[in-house]
Structure formats: C-alpha cells, structure tokens
Amino acid sequence: MSGEHEDEHSAAEETVVRRDRFSGGPARSFLSSLADDERIFAADIAVDRAHVVMLADQECIERETAGEILAALADIESAGHGQLPDGEDVHEAIESAVIERVGPEGGKMHTARSRNDEVAACIRYRMRADVLELIETVVEAREQLLAVAEAHTETVMPGYTHLQPAQPTTVAHWIASYEQALQRDTARLLDAYDRVNQNPLGSAAFAGTPVDIDRERTAELLGFESVLENSMDASATRDFLVEVTGAVATLATTLSGLAEDVVVMASKGHVELDDDYASTSSIMPQKKNPDTMELVRGRTGDATAGLNGLLTNLKGQPRAYNRDLQRAGRHAWDAIDSVTESVAVATGAVTTADWPAEALERAAADGFSTATGVADLLAMAGVPFRTAHELVASAATVTDSADGEPTSSASDSDAPDYETLDAVTQDVLGDSLSAYVERSAVEAALDPTESVAMRDSRGGPAPDAVVAQLSAASDTLSDDEATLSTRRDAVESASDRLQTEVDRYA
Ligand code: ARG
C-alpha cells in the first residue's frame, strides 16, 4: 500500500481488521486493491448503510449499534477515500475505520455478509451509474446527429462500397445510418443495465448465512430491481460486466466506422472539420488533420482490449470466489470511460463539421455512380435486371475506352451519354433505348440528385424516405429517453429511501 495510508493510520494499527493476516509481507501492495477501489468508495458506503439498516430492521443487531455504525459511516464518507486506514481493500479499510470510531461493536457491521457479496454489490451499484451516464451520452449524440441529418436531407454525396464510388446518397442518409446503429447500441446497454441492477448482497461468501436477513430489503434500499437467487452464483458471477463491456465494444466499433468515414471524407475535401476537432502538424504548417476522429477510431482498441481482458480474467474460474476477480472490474471501467468520452467527441466533430454541398454533389457523380439507376429503369420497363446490368456495363466500357481511361478508374466521373446507351441497347436488345424508357427518364437517372430522389423505397436515400426514417428515429429516441429517466428516477428514489432510513438513526 502507499506510504500515505501507512503513515497516516499507524495509530489505527491496533484495530485493523485481521491484521495478522495482512501484516506487511512482500506481497502486501500486490494483494491490495485499496487505491483502485476509490471508484467504489461511495458505493461501499451505500452498501454498508443498506446492510446495517436491514440488520437492525431484522433485529440482528441493536438499533443503538446500528446508529453508531451509521454515524461512523457518515464521518468516513466526509473524510473521503484518501483518509482510510490501510487495508487489503476498501471494504476492509472502511470496516477498520468504523471499528476505530465505534469500538469492537462496530464489527457487527460485517454480520451475515462477506467481502465477496459486498464487492459484487459495490461493483453493480457503481457500474449502474456509469452505464446510465454512457446511455445518456449516446442518447444525446443521437439527438444531435438527427438534427444534423434533418438539415441535410437534400445534400447529395457519394456513397461507397469497397471505398469505390458506388451510388449517390445524401449526408442525411449517411448520418441516419449511424444513428440507427447507435439506437441498437442504446438498446444493448439498456438491456445489460437490467442485469447489472440485481442484488447479490446477502449471499455472504457464497453459501448464505444462518442469520435472518432480508435480501429484498437491501435490494429495495439500494435500488436493485431484483435479488440474484442462488447465493453461489450471486457472489461469483461477473457476467454482467461482460455484457456491459460487450455492448461498449460494439458501440466503439460503431463509432470507429463513423470516424473512419470522416477521416476519408476529410482527406477528399468532402467534409471540413471545425478547428476545435482538428489538429495540425508540428512541422507541416498547411496541415489540418482529423486527429479527434483518429483517436475515436483508436479508442476502439481500449474497448476490445477491455472485453478481451475481462473474458480472459474470467475464463475457467471455478466456483465460487477467487481473487482473480479483483482484477476483473478494471477492464470494464477502462472500456466504459474511454468510450464514453469517444461518443461525445465523435458527435461534436460531426455536428460542428461543414459539408461542402457543391463539392459533394460533384463527387457524387464520380465513377459512373448512377449506373445502377439506369439498369433499374430498364428493369422496371421489363428488361431482365441481369441483361440491363450487362448492357449498362458495356456502355461504361465504351465510354471508358473512348476516354482512354482504364475501366477500373474510380475517379472517372464520366457516365455514358444517352447516345452511347442507346447504341448499346440496340446491340444488346435489338431495339432503341426509347422503346423501353423515355429519354428524359434516362437523363434524370444519370443525374446524381435525381438518382437519389428516385430511390424512395422504405429506408432509401430519397429525401422523403429519409424524412420518414428521421421521424421514426426521433420517436424511438423519445422512448429511450423515457426509459432512461425511469431508470434514473428509480435509482434516485432508492437513494432517497436509504437516506430517510439512515436519518431515522441520527
Ligand atoms: N478486494 C476484493 C475484490 O475486489 C474483495 C473480495 C475479497 N474476498 C476474498 N475472499 N479475499 O474482489
């Protein structure tokens, strides 16, 4: 442990819990999680309070003793984590601090529990807050992305497959595609939340207790929605951390795609990031680099590393508690902290960016990106789609050869003109193009903006279709906001309930 803890609290040595077993061998700091446990300090105080109130309610400890322990906890809470006496972990240190203040009777706090169920409860209590904060960040991101999308339903841009120009789309359609993914990321986090928010307390080491405890009561006081049924499972499992970290890693993967898109767009001049979200080079004064988005992309590694680290920690751990578990939580915290920041930064970069409409529209025609639309027209006129596909491909080849360009040139914006398409149609179908489609329709299909407007199937990029998507997305967003505030309210009223109970002892 840190010297600070040892020096400050040497006077307390006499009352340090189980001091004989944790007495300063070479592995002392290796064993201790006290510094890392700062994250669950407040959670541990809450868990201690709920446990003590329940024990007194159940007449397992005297009300007077409960009152003294609760007063000591209030004092320990205001002193803060840094003032705790030395200990293997925050649970032991807080217990020592209670005993310092109350005397041996303070040791009744640990009646009918173990650090195993205690730490599981603390992790769940704290993780619950972290997941809610992340969900809130994602929900806010969705709201902001939808607002940008609404402003850009008519901003035509190139859409890519294999990083090659594929078909024209709009900035709104592209942004809405990420909002949909973030919708599912929100759903995964909300789902994981419900399994985080369960009560392991009262499982003791793993084998329950002969003491007449009430696990429903501690669940109620801590705002846990349900009680984990089997005491061995309750103290051992960390699968809830896997669920959260899995959802976080999936979210990070969503963000990494968005980030990569923006990096590529910035390199082509298809987006201009606000200076707040760009960086420059220390040597090349002309550079404006999309560093924020590269870091968002890079932080995906933090999340997948967290998931990998967590699963590796948990793999093959036998029932019930093993000390390996002390190293499990950090993977989940690292992942969630890193990605929560990423969400906010990625959203800020996208919402403050400038989308140069003219450059985007020009680029939207690159590489004969309207080819599919011409084939679609012929297919709608009754030509088998495969034949139409081959016909348009031949027209593209004719145009490319005439240009002297290789057919694979990705940046060739030259689409075949009507005459070329007509000539090829006569070759392939033995009839002129106008026998199938009006010239004006072909010319419209060759125009990127018209091409977008034609693709009005449900979910497609046509402005009306996107407006419908955005409206559905904003309904789902309102539902998610309501779910989030229900979860938050439940946590807050539990915390008020616990405070009211504690105050009755003051
Ligand atoms: N600091 C420990 C952890 O985080 C608490 C549980 C200790 N339990 C035990 N049996 N050694 O997991």
Given 10, 23, 281, 401, the catalytic residue:
281
From the CA of 89, give the closest atom in ligand 1: 1
CA 48 to chain centroid: 30
Helices (H), 237-367: 239-268, 291-314, 329-352, 357-364
Domain 127-358+466-500 belongs to what architecture? Up-down Bundle (1.20)
Amino acid 27: pLDDT:
86
**Residue located nearest, by CA, to atom 12 of ligand 1:** 326
Ligand 1 lined by 100 (C-beta under 6 Å): no
Ordered DSSP codes for 342-372 = HHHHHHHHHHH-B--HHHHHHHHTGGGTTHH
Contact (Cβ atoms closer than 8 angstroms) between residue 209 and residue 112: yes
118 phi-psi bin (left φ>0, alpha ψ -120 to 50, beta other): alpha
Question: From the DSSP assignment, how many helices (H) and strands (E) are in the chain?
Answer: 19, 4
DSSP 316: T
How buried is 211 (Cβ within 10 angstroms: 0-12 exposed, 13-18 middle, 19+ buried)? middle
Ligand 1 lined by 321 (C-beta under 6 Å): yes
Instruction: Provide long-range contacts, Cβ within 8 A and 24+ apart, for 148-154.
Output: 148/175, 148/350, 148/351, 149/175, 149/176, 149/179, 149/466, 149/470, 150/470, 152/355, 153/463, 153/466, 153/467, 153/470, 154/463
* Spatial distance between the Cα atoms of 386 and 391, rounded to a whole number of angstroms: 9
Amino acid 404: pLDDT:
56
Ligand 1 lined by 32 (C-beta under 6 Å): no
- The preferred substitution site among 116, 122, 313 for testing ligand 1, maximizing ligand atoms within 8 Å of CB, is 116
**Residue located nearest, by CA, to atom 7 of ligand 1:** 115
Number of residues in the chain = 506
* Spatial distance between the Cα atoms of 416 and 408, rounded to a whole number of angstroms: 15
Identical topology for domains 11-111 and 127-358+466-500? no
**Residue located nearest, by CA, to atom 3 of ligand 1:** 326
Ligand 1 lined by 33 (C-beta under 6 Å): yes
198 membership: H or E segment, kind and range: strand 198-199
For the chain, the maximum distance between any two Cα atoms, rounded to a whole number of angstroms, is 102
Domain boundaries, given as residue ranges, for the chain: 11-111, 127-358+466-500, 366-446
Ligand 1 lined by 119 (C-beta under 6 Å): yes
From the CA of 119, give the closest atom in ligand 1: 5
Whether residue 281 lies in the annotated active site: yes
* Spatial distance between the Cα atoms of 49 and 393, rounded to a whole number of angstroms: 73
Ligand 1 lined by 325 (C-beta under 6 Å): yes
Ligand 1 lined by 116 (C-beta under 6 Å): yes
- Tens-binned pLDDT, residue by residue, of the chain (506 aa): 334 444 444 444 444 455 555 666 888 889 999 999 999 999 999 999 999 999 999 999 999 999 999 999 999 999 999 999 988 999 999 999 999 999 999 999 999 999 999 999 999 999 999 999 999 999 999 999 999 999 999 999 999 999 998 899 999 999 999 999 999 999 999 999 999 999 999 999 999 999 999 999 999 999 999 999 999 999 999 999 999 999 999 999 999 999 999 999 999 999 999 999 988 778 787 878 999 999 999 999 999 999 999 999 999 999 999 999 999 999 999 999 999 999 999 999 999 999 999 999 999 999 899 999 999 999 999 999 999 999 999 999 888 777 655 444 444 457 899 999 999 999 999 999 999 999 999 999 999 999 999 999 999 999 999 999 999 999 999 999 999 999 999 999 999 999 999 999 98
pTM of the predicted model as reported, rounded to 2 decimal places: 0.92
Amino acid 25: pLDDT:
81
**Residue located nearest, by CA, to atom 10 of ligand 1:** 116
- The preferred substitution site among 326, 330, 331, 333 for testing ligand 1, maximizing ligand atoms within 8 Å of CB, is 326
Contact (Cβ atoms closer than 8 angstroms) between residue 65 and residue 105: yes
Ligand 1 lined by 115 (C-beta under 6 Å): yes
- Name the E strands within 368-420: none
Whether residue 152 lies in the annotated active site: no
Helix-helix angle 291-314:239-268, to 10 degrees: 160
Amino acid 18: pLDDT:
52
From the CA of 114, give the closest atom in ligand 1: 8
Ligand 1 lined by 235 (C-beta under 6 Å): no
Domain 11-111 belongs to what architecture? Orthogonal Bundle (1.10)
Closest CA to 81 of 116, 120, 53, 122: 122
Given 162, 282, 408, 440, the catalytic residue:
162
Phi, psi dihedrals of residue 412, rounded to the nearest 5°: -80, 110
For residue 170, the cross-strand partners are 156
CA 405 to chain centroid: 45
Amino acid 421: pLDDT:
94
From the CA of 321, give the closest atom in ligand 1: 10
* Spatial distance between the Cα atoms of 481 and 58, rounded to a whole number of angstroms: 38
The strand pair at 226-227 and 198-199 is best described as parallel
